Amino acid sequence: MNPLDLDQLKGKWSAQSRELDAQLTLDLDAVRRLQTARTRSALGWHRGGLLLQLLAGAAGIGVLALFALRHGGEWPYLLAALPLLGLLIVHFIVDARQWLAVKRIDYSAPVAQLRATLDTLLQRRLRLVRGVIYVSPLIWWLMVMVTLKGLWNIDLLDWMHPSVLPISALAGVGVIVIIELSSRAIARRFPDAPALRRFLDDLAGPTFQRASEHVESQLRFEREISEHGAQRALHARAQQLSEPLETARAGLQRRVSLGLWLASVLILCTGGFNALHGGDASALPPGVLLHVSAIVWLILSVRHRIALGSPSPDGGDVHRWGEHLRSAVRARRVVMQSYVVASPLLVVALVQVLSLAFAAIDLWQSLGLAVWLGLGAIVAIAITLLFLRWRERRDAFATSAVDALSLATLERSNRLADAAISADGEVPRARDAA
Amino acid sequence: MSTTHRDDAFLAQLQQHKAILYKVANAYCSRREDRGDLIQEILIELWRAWPRFERGGAFAGWMQRIAINVAISFFRGESRRIRDALPIEDFGMDLAAADRVLDAEGDDLRALHQLIARLDDVNRALILLYLEGYSQDETAAMLGLSATNVATRIQRIKQKLQRDYAAAEDTP
């Protein structure tokens, strides 16, 4: 019996490699054609999506122009329609330029040049989306006004208090400042955060999102190789949530989405209430308090929902994903705990709003100042006691109430994040395999 | 260097080391059609990673590393399949001709290929790099292991291969 001598076989192995080299011929142009075919296919989908957007945009411009013509004599509606029309036209122009740019792409150009073109298009698209986000807080009331008037001939101006529009415009400016400051702070603190990147890609559209996710995955892979070696990169690339965790993730995602809808309904209801009671000093403060609380709830829910997104399309770093989820849960828990602390005030505000909305009873006037002062003192004491309790118990404070406020998603998400992080630790490493 | 020159440089390097594609694919896929898919996948990953390749570095080692990384992901069935890729024949790579080279190999090389196919993915990568003539330090750097670990593992693989070979020889 001849033992298998690897050292001897090395020579034969090399000879076989040389023979293989001689037999195999590589059509280099075919490699180029492969890349081009893939890029062309991906961009074909993108161009189709842009075309649909262009058609929708053209229809929107036509409808708005018609609206402006028909209501030319009603200057508030004309003034409301013009900025919307301007925004739609700008959007249409950017889409049209992008469609033309994608159409004109020279697929025979070097790949690096193609990549640079796509990066430029992505940046242009992000600038537009950012612009729309910034303008939205200022124009959403105009959009509601024009939509109601155009579709159902409802004159919102007759229903709304005159103070609503200036107040919402001021609040819009405040929101823009907050968005700008917070986005700068986030970009400064987490310049390469994948969650932030995913969020921006979501804004840029699904076709860009797919492309960007792939690039992100490649970058992560290369980064893992340079920082931790190929073995770690291999495991990072191959990791995916196990089936039970994936099922739990999908279920939680649905539940958080339901919470998003509820928060949106609450925002619309409180917004409607505020619009109808704009000049009423006893209605507006509780209405605004509930409205802002609902908006913060929505923002935190959106972040939670993003964190619950799949680790990556082709398997990502589950450990990092778990940490992001844990961080989103922590932020949401802190805000929910602050709601519990402020619950006496929120309950009073809710009772006042519900009384006004459904029974037209103004509790502020009907109960009188003395009762309100007494109630105010009780609320202040209750809030102080709850706050002290919060400081004492920190994460363990009002866990059931906090979980209920999040539709039982916080604790489950935390457990999911823990499981994802610990599952990563169990992935067999080369050392263990040995 | 212009982008065209960079692309040409990539293709020229690829041309010189194309056997690596087949060898890695052969080590990780038993079915011919899978080998074609894996070669496509490796080519695409190489092309994508090329802008980050350090000029002046060893292309063969870099290519080997990426090919093995892709093969392991592919082998585990976790890599996405390329739906809109061209057929492998369009690369001009006649895999049947390469298969004939393997068919004509001696008993010892055939036995070696069969034994390699039974190893786990990391050990398969180790033995491939060993047979390609990479040093322990180079292998360690490529796989993210320590040089000592590589030496120990290769020693164990050698013993395992000899045991398996002997068992196969003894089986009537």
Residue contact B109–A12, C-beta within 8 A: yes
- State the average pLDDT over residues A236-244: 57
Q: Between A222 and A344, where is the model more confident?
A: A344
- In this predicted structure, the answer to whether residue A423 has a pLDDT above a threshold of 60 is no
Question: Rg (Cα) of chain B, in Å, rounded?
Answer: 17
Note whether B15 contacts A: Cβ–Cβ < 8 A. yes
List, for residues A2-55, the tens digit of each pLDDT value. Answer: 566 777 788 888 888 888 777 776 665 665 666 566 666 667 777 888 899 899
Q: Report residue A112: phi and psi, to 5°.
A: -60, -35
The amino acid present at A22, given as its one-letter code, is A
Instruction: Please tell me the predicted confidence (pLDDT) of residue B129.
Output: 87
- In this predicted structure, the answer to whether residue A163 has a pLDDT above a threshold of 80 is no
Q: Between A26 and A296, where is the model more confident?
A: A296
- In this predicted structure, the answer to whether residue B124 has a pLDDT above a threshold of 70 is yes
Quickly count: other Cβ atoms within 10 Å of residue A360's Cβ: 7
- State the average pLDDT over residues A262-289: 83
Instruction: Please tell me the predicted confidence (pLDDT) of residue A132.
Output: 81
Instruction: Please tell me the predicted confidence (pLDDT) of residue A172.
Output: 77
Q: Which of A12, A40, A111 is the mutation pick for testing B, counting most B CBs within 10 A?
A: A111
Residue contact B98–A237, C-beta within 8 A: no
Note whether B171 contacts A: Cβ–Cβ < 8 A. no
Three-state secondary-structure class, residue A43: helix
Question: Rg (Cα) of chain A, in Å, rounded?
Answer: 29
Percentage of chain B with pLDDT > 70? 80
Instruction: Please tell me the predicted confidence (pLDDT) of residue B144.
Output: 75
Note whether B77 contacts A: Cβ–Cβ < 8 A. no
Instruction: Please tell me the predicted confidence (pLDDT) of residue A182.
Output: 75
Contacts of A427 in chain B (CB under 8 A): none
> Distance between CA atoms of A235 and A428, rounded to whole angstroms?
9
- In this predicted structure, the answer to whether residue A219 has a pLDDT above a threshold of 60 is no
Instruction: Please tell me the predicted confidence (pLDDT) of residue A210.
Output: 53
Nearest to A9 among B76, B84, B108 (CB): B108
Q: Which tokens hold the place of A316?
A: 């990502």
Q: Quickly count helices (H) and strands (E) in chain A.
A: 18, 0
- State the average pLDDT over residues A145-169: 80
Note whether B73 contacts A: Cβ–Cβ < 8 A. yes
List, for residues A66-78, the tens digit of each pLDDT value. Answer: 998 888 788 888 8
User: For residue A88, what pLDDT band results from cuts at 50, 70 and 90?
Assistant: very high
The minimum CA-CA distance between A344 and chain B, rounded to whole Å, is: 52
User: For residue A187, what pLDDT band results from cuts at 50, 70 and 90?
Assistant: low
Most confident of A257-266, A380-389, B14-23: A380-389
Instruction: Please tell me the predicted confidence (pLDDT) of residue A35.
Output: 56
- State the average pLDDT over residues B17-34: 81
ipTM of the complex, rounded to two decimals: 0.76
> For A2-5, which contacts have Cβ atoms below 8 Å and span 24 or more sequence positions?
A2/B108, A3/B162, A3/B165, A3/B166, A4/B108, A4/B111, A4/B112, A4/B115, A4/B161, A4/B162, A4/B165
The minimum CA-CA distance between B126 and chain A, rounded to whole Å, is: 11
Q: Between A138 and B90, where is the model more confident?
A: A138
In this structure, of A122-126, A250-254, A361-365, the range with the lowest mean pLDDT score is A122-126
Contacts of B52 in chain A (CB under 8 A): 222
The pLDDT mean for chain A works out to 76
Q: Which of A28, A119, A216, A227 is the mutation pick for testing B, counting most B CBs within 10 A?
A: A28
The minimum CA-CA distance between A108 and chain B, rounded to whole Å, is: 10
Instruction: Please tell me the predicted confidence (pLDDT) of residue A130.
Output: 75
Instruction: Please tell me the predicted confidence (pLDDT) of residue A235.
Output: 44
Note whether B18 contacts A: Cβ–Cβ < 8 A. yes
> For A385-393, which contacts have Cβ atoms below 8 Å and span 24 or more sequence positions?
A386/A340, A386/A341, A386/A343, A386/A344, A387/A341, A390/A337, A390/A340, A390/A341
Most confident of A34-48, A180-194, A325-339, A374-388: A374-388
Quickly count: other Cβ atoms within 10 Å of residue A15's Cβ: 12
B-chain residue closest to A229, CA distance: B144
Nearest to A434 among B43, B106, B152 (CB): B152
Whole-number Cα distances in Å, B78 to A428, B70, B86: 16, 10, 21
Nearest to B98 among A20, A218, A431 (CB): A20
The residue to which tokens 């002046």 are assigned:
B56
Residue contact B85–A234, C-beta within 8 A: no
Q: Between B17 and B83, where is the model more confident?
A: B17
Give buried/exposed letters for A309-321 (b at 16+ CB in 10 A, else e): bebbebbbbbbbb
Residue contact A112–B158, C-beta within 8 A: no
B-chain residue closest to A11, CA distance: B131
Quickly count: other Cβ atoms within 10 Å of residue B172's Cβ: 2
Residue contact A20–B15, C-beta within 8 A: no
Contacts of B169 in chain A (CB under 8 A): 1
Q: Between A310 and B89, where is the model more confident?
A: A310
Note whether B168 contacts A: Cβ–Cβ < 8 A. no
Residues 123-152 of B with CB under 8 A from A: 127, 130-133, 141-145, 149, 152
Nearest to A26 among B92, B120, B145 (CB): B92
- In this predicted structure, the answer to whether residue A281 has a pLDDT above a threshold of 70 is yes
- In this predicted structure, the answer to whether residue A101 has a pLDDT above a threshold of 50 is yes
Whole-number Cα distances in Å, A48 to A38, A43, A115, A215: 16, 8, 20, 22
Residue contact B130–A37, C-beta within 8 A: no
Q: Which tokens hold the place of A42?
A: 């991906």
Q: Report residue A94: phi and psi, to 5°.
A: -65, -45
pTM of the model: 0.48
Task: Tell me, rounded to whole angstroms, the distance of Cα B106 from its chain centroid.
Answer: 20
User: For residue A350, what pLDDT band results from cuts at 50, 70 and 90?
Assistant: very high
Domain boundaries, chain A: 29-238, 245-434
- In this predicted structure, the answer to whether residue A135 has a pLDDT above a threshold of 60 is yes
Nearest to A26 among B18, B23, B156 (CB): B18
Contacts of B93 in chain A (CB under 8 A): 24-27
Instruction: Please tell me the predicted confidence (pLDDT) of residue A116.
Output: 67
